[in-house]
Structure 1
Amino acid sequence: MRGRINTERSVLLYTARIIGCSGRNSPQLQTSRWQNWTCHVGIDGADADTLALVIEIVGLDDRFAIHHFPVNIGFYRNFERIVAAVDPGAAWVALADQDDFWHPNKLERLVAEFAADDVAAVSGQARLVNDSGVELGLTRRCDPGPFGLLLDNKVTGSFAVFRGDVVRRSLPFPEPTDAAYHDHWLGMVAAGVGRLVIVNDALQDYVQHGANVLGEERGSRLGWRAQTLRERSGSHGMLLYLSAHRWGWRVTMARVLIEAEPRGLEPRLTVQCPGSPLSWPCCAVRSRHCSSTCAARPGVCALPRRMRLARASRHPS
């Protein structure tokens, strides 16, 4: 049992300059069974209207710490500076969006999983709703393992609770690309120190609207993703953009995890190079670690064939 799980806790709430920001989570937190928490509210950029709304919602409740930052730096770096404000003694940290609605038992249900010492992060499922609260469906989160998580983010920050040491070890966040997400990084750090647990109960409403950073319904459609890629890649070409941003972000995370011994992390990705203690994403960014007994051929990592060809074309020598 983790003795401090029920003694100190911290909840993060991110707010942006979004029309219709309602702060629905704040009243839910205040009436939750869990009362020993601190909620850090991060307003990304000078916004008097949002600040006034937050003050109106939280009232005189001193468990809310409001951070009104004068400069807008985007969701990724804003989460980083809010994570940095968390009490180092916090046993767990939950992330929240300003308009999603937590069900009354969410924290109680998720935090209970930390009774097992090896659990580093816990995620629930969510009910997808529109702005009017009409149900659109349910999420189907799963645990793909550390390697699968590197390739495809399955940890939605607002669904999850992270062990306190995970957020402490996540700092500083890696240099982002356009495809960088704070919850993807936190999920990978969690995979480096423990186990991800998925609770298959819908524990919140996940609101889908035009201002979502990603969203569930749009993000699952190939057409929408292709359109977004075309808009972002411009004249550089979609494949070059994917290489620099989507794959580049994953290589950056892998490299930081490999080199992050001071953070107390381990390379836990599951596909191993024969003859090497490192998994193949490690070899993809630091190929000198591959053993001469590697299965592909002496001195070459057993990467998938397409990746070996891509690496060879970039390094013809």
Structure 2
Amino acid sequence: MAFDSTSHGVIALAAYKPDWDLFRTQLRSIQDQSHSQFVCLISADGGATEIRDFVERELGRDKRFKVLGFDGRLGFYGNFERVLQHVPADATWIALSDQDDAWYPSKLEVLLPHLNDVGLVAGQARVVRLPDHAIVSESTLRRNVDLAALIAQNQVTGSLCVFRRDLLDLALPFPRLNTITQVHDHWLAVCAKATTGALIVDDVVQDYVQHGGNVLGEVGGRRSIARSLKNVAMLSRKFQGGSGPRSMLRTANDLSFGWRRVMADTLRSRLRNPGIALDKGLAPFESGHGWVTTSTALVSALRRGDVALPCFMEFVAGVPAEVFKRKAVAAD
């Protein structure tokens, strides 16, 4: 199968209470792609009628755009899973889209040919900040790393990637962990890296609109210790029901080891014949991981610059709860 100007795919867009001006810009940027062989499935996570009416007013004559409406709200993670579950079997590729960015006209044309060599490809973005659209960075500077480093810290932004449709055979259903670090693009990137390969190219293919309030572990992010503790306390109240010491330790573990363990264990269970490279990538994070293996992988990635210091410190903060969990399992 050749991924070229004739290959037909699906753009999966997750929508929830969009800013209508930004949403219009994004829809137009998709409509104006130089590669025109696609259907854009818009999954409305609530408010489907309003979103459908807006799309019809803006793009009514373009039958490539279809709004899927659902009664129950799932949040962004579940909404992306839901729209991917509706991708038809005859699609050859899938591109993910947020509701508030702006694609450059050649985005698909630039990225699709790489799928002849790998299962997932991601580009870079120019980062702009609302409300004035000031340029924060000319590039997201994502980089190619090995599987262990990618599990430790995501390098693939969903809105920047395109992947082969058959990746869904492995990735669906999405694994679950009730934490903010449970994200669709990280999981898809790890699935691709572990099997058909993932590639990050230097091409800047869109504007990425930043709203602020980035989560822990964002590539290149910097936080003071006080701010990080405040953020962990906030997440503890949301996901653990309180911000006491034990709740915060559990939250710190979920943000680091917990989500990576879920991904590693899920991959281990779904792949029948993992090779040596896959074993090496999964070993530092799966259940029962050895501390020497884990610390070696994380320190090595930190020294190479494949894992940022804030992300590394999240793992340090997650160690106490990880130790307690291991002792509890051993006691059983």
1:149-178 CA-partner distances (Å, limit 9, x unpaired): 111111110011111111232111112321
Q: Given that residues 192 and 198 in structure 2 are in contact (C-alpha distance below 8 angstroms), is that contact kept between their aligned partners in structure 1?
A: yes
Q: Distance in 2 between matches of 1:27 and 1:209?
A: 21
Q: Distance in 2 between matches of 1:267 and 1:176?
A: 26
Corresponding residue for 1:209?
211
The Cα of 1:225 is off from its aligned counterpart by 4.5
- Does 301-310 or 152-161 show the bigger shift? 301-310
Q: Given that residues 49 and 69 in structure 2 are in contact (C-alpha distance below 8 angstroms), is that contact kept between their aligned partners in structure 1?
A: no
The Cα of 1:194 is off from its aligned counterpart by 1.8
Q: Which amino acid aligns with 1:121?
A: L
How has the CA–CA distance of structure 1 residues 133 and 267 changed in structure 2, closer, same or farther, with 3 Å as cutoff?
A: farther
The Cα of 1:286 is off from its aligned counterpart by 5.2
How high is the TM-score relative to the length of structure 2? 0.78
Q: Distance in 2 between matches of 1:271 and 1:168?
A: 20
How has the CA–CA distance of structure 1 residues 54 and 219 changed in structure 2, closer, same or farther, with 3 Å as cutoff?
A: farther
Kindly report which structure 2 residues correspond to 1:16-165, keeping only aligned pairs within 5 A, or say none.
16-20=16-20, 21-116=22-117, 119-131=118-130, 132-137=132-137, 138-165=139-166
Query: Residue 14 of structure 1 aligns to a residue in which SS?
Result: strand
Corresponding residue for 2:221?
220
User: Please, which of 230, 235, 251 is the counterpart of residue 233 of structure 2?
Assistant: 230
Q: Distance in 2 between matches of 1:65 and 1:268?
A: 43
Q: What RMSD over aligned residues (CA atoms) do the two structures have, in Å?
A: 3.1
Corresponding residue for 1:292?
none
How has the CA–CA distance of structure 1 residues 182 and 64 changed in structure 2, closer, same or farther, with 3 Å as cutoff?
A: same
Corresponding residue for 1:12?
12
Corresponding residue for 2:258?
248
1:86-131 CA-partner distances (Å, limit 9, x unpaired): 1122211110111100111111111121232xx0111111101123
Q: Which amino acid aligns with 2:14?
A: Y
Query: Residue 222 of structure 1 aligns to a residue in which SS?
Result: coil
User: Please, which of 197, 204, 224 is the counterpart of residue 195 of structure 1?
Assistant: 197
How has the CA–CA distance of structure 1 residues 112 and 141 changed in structure 2, closer, same or farther, with 3 Å as cutoff?
A: same
- Identity score, percent: 29
The Cα of 1:32 is off from its aligned counterpart by 1.7
How has the CA–CA distance of structure 1 residues 214 and 97 changed in structure 2, closer, same or farther, with 3 Å as cutoff?
A: farther
Task: Tell me whether 1:168 sits opposite 2:169 in the alignment.
Answer: yes
Q: Which amino acid aligns with 2:192?
A: A
Q: Given that residues 43 and 69 in structure 2 are in contact (C-alpha distance below 8 angstroms), is that contact kept between their aligned partners in structure 1?
A: yes
Q: Which amino acid aligns with 2:184?
A: H
Q: Distance in 1 between matches of 2:16 and 2:229?
A: 26
How has the CA–CA distance of structure 1 residues 267 and 171 changed in structure 2, closer, same or farther, with 3 Å as cutoff?
A: farther
Q: Which amino acid aligns with 1:123?
A: A
- Does 56-65 or 14-23 show the bigger shift? 14-23
- Does 40-49 or 190-199 show the bigger shift? 40-49
Query: Residue 67 of structure 1 aligns to a residue in which SS?
Result: strand
Q: Given that residues 170 and 270 in structure 2 are in contact (C-alpha distance below 8 angstroms), is that contact kept between their aligned partners in structure 1?
A: no
Q: Distance in 2 between matches of 1:161 and 1:180?
A: 20
How has the CA–CA distance of structure 1 residues 312 and 157 changed in structure 2, closer, same or farther, with 3 Å as cutoff?
A: closer
Q: Distance in 2 between matches of 1:67 and 1:153?
A: 29
Q: Distance in 1 between matches of 2:54 and 2:215?
A: 24
Q: Given that residues 127 and 136 in structure 2 are in contact (C-alpha distance below 8 angstroms), is that contact kept between their aligned partners in structure 1?
A: yes
The Cα of 1:140 is off from its aligned counterpart by 1.0
Q: Given that residues 19 and 100 in structure 2 are in contact (C-alpha distance below 8 angstroms), is that contact kept between their aligned partners in structure 1?
A: no
Corresponding residue for 1:280?
283
Q: Which amino acid aligns with 2:185?
A: D
How high is the TM-score relative to the length of structure 1? 0.81
The Cα of 1:245 is off from its aligned counterpart by 4.4
